[in-house]
């Protein structure tokens, strides 16, 4: 009887394949153009291609994190930094006083389409009915 000793790809190899195929990882690498508004060694922010408000910016970690579900203990400082960056961008966009909304869609029921953690910064209009 033949025994199949072939192992599948390692978890690291699978993650690399996913990253190669990830839209936002391609934006980070500059393989897909974006309208950048902020960048440092850990975080990138760029204008959403289909804005849902006059100001609609996506703030993302450069590290490929699939969604909030995938967050690890070591990511806590990074997430804190993302909120500081959101605050800074809101000031630069002139919406700190008027107000803004930050949305993170996580998973299927929330309608997450791009599986690379991202924070929507929305502003520049009076938003309609609130969910919460
Ligand atoms: P979500 O539904 O929370 O996963 O949000 C994904 C967001 O990515 C949507 O608001 C899209 O309009 C936006 N998006 C998709 N492709 C691009 C792109 N190439 N550049 C900028 N934003 C994009
Ligand atoms: Zn990615």
Catalytic residues: 118
DSSP per position, 25-67: HHHHHTSS---EEEE-SSEEEEE-SS-SSSEEEEEEESS---S
Going by alpha carbons, the residue nearest to atom 17 of ligand 1 is: 49
Who has greater pLDDT, 97 or 12? Answer: 97
Whole-structure pTM over 0.85, yes or no? yes
CA distance 63 to 72: 12
**Residue (of 64, 57, 59) closest to 43 by Cα position:** 59
Atom of ligand 1 nearest to the CA of 47: 21
pLDDT over threshold 70, residue 5: no
Residue pLDDT, tens place only, 52-108: 999 999 999 999 999 999 999 999 999 999 999 999 999 999 999 999 999 999 999
CA distance 87 to 108: 28
């Amino acid at each position: 009887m033949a025994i199949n000793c072939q192992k599948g790809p390692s978890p690291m190899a699978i993650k690399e394949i996913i990253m190669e195929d990830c839209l936002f990882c391609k934006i980070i690498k500059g393989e897909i153009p974006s309208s950048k508004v902020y960048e440092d060694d850990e975080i990138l922010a760029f204008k959403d291609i289909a804005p849902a408000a006059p100001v609609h910016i996506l703030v993302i970690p450069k590290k490929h994190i699939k969604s909030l579900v995938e967050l690890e203990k070591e990511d806590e400082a990074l997430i804190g930094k993302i909120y500081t960056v959101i605050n800074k961008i809101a000031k630069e966009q002139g919406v700190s006083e008027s107000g803004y909304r930050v949305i993170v869609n996580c998973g299927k029921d929330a309608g997450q389409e791009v599986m690379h953690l991202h924070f929507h910064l929305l502003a520049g209009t009076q938003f309609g009915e609130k969910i919460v």
